[in-house]
């Protein structure tokens, strides 16, 4: 139980285009989901907390207009990287709170974004 599915697993896009990453909780409902970014050989950096039915809470230094988060249902949160640039190339990981089921915070398998 407590599986989080993240899609796509990798994507290549051109500079200036937008990319949407989906994060789904498959067998539980997730009121709260989290989005992280990880650069090579670095730790995960929390970008924002996504709450179902309300606006996301962004961490300091994360541009909310560039990284659009939508959490319209209890099983789906999306992260859209708008007007992507090469410096946005990174590994993006979502997470959902599955503690009620005793599974801790459950993470997706990540999305490798490459902007060319």
Catalog residues that contact other proteins under the rule CB under 8 A: 4, 6, 32, 34, 36, 43-46, 49, 91, 93-95, 97, 103-110, 112
Nearest to 17 by CA among 92, 109, 114: 114
116 and 13 Cβ atoms separated by less than 8 Å: yes
Smaller CB separation from other proteins, 36 or 67: 36
Closer Cβ to other proteins, 8 or 104, answer by number: 104
CB 16 to other proteins: min, Å: 27
**At closest approach, how far in Å is the CB of 77 from other proteins?**
13
Are the CB atoms for 110 and 21 separated by under 8 Å? no
Q: How far is the CB of 46 from other proteins (least distance, A)?
A: 6
Partners of 93 in beta bridges: 36
């Amino acid at each position: 139980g407590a599986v989080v599915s993240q899609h796509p697993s990798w994507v290549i896009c051109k500079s200036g285009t937008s990319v949407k990453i989906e994060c789904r909780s498959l067998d539980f409902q997730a009121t709260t989901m989290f989005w992280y970014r990880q650069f090579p050989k670095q730790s995960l950096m929390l970008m924002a907390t996504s709450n179902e039915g309300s606006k996301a809470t962004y961490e300091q230094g994360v541009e909310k207009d560039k990284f659009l988060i939508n959490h319209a249902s209890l099983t789906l949160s999306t992260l859209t990287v708008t007007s992507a640039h090469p410096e946005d190339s990174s590994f993006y990981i979502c997470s959902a709170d599955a503690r009620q089921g005793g599974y801790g915070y459950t993470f997706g398998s990540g999305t490798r974004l490459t902007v060319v």
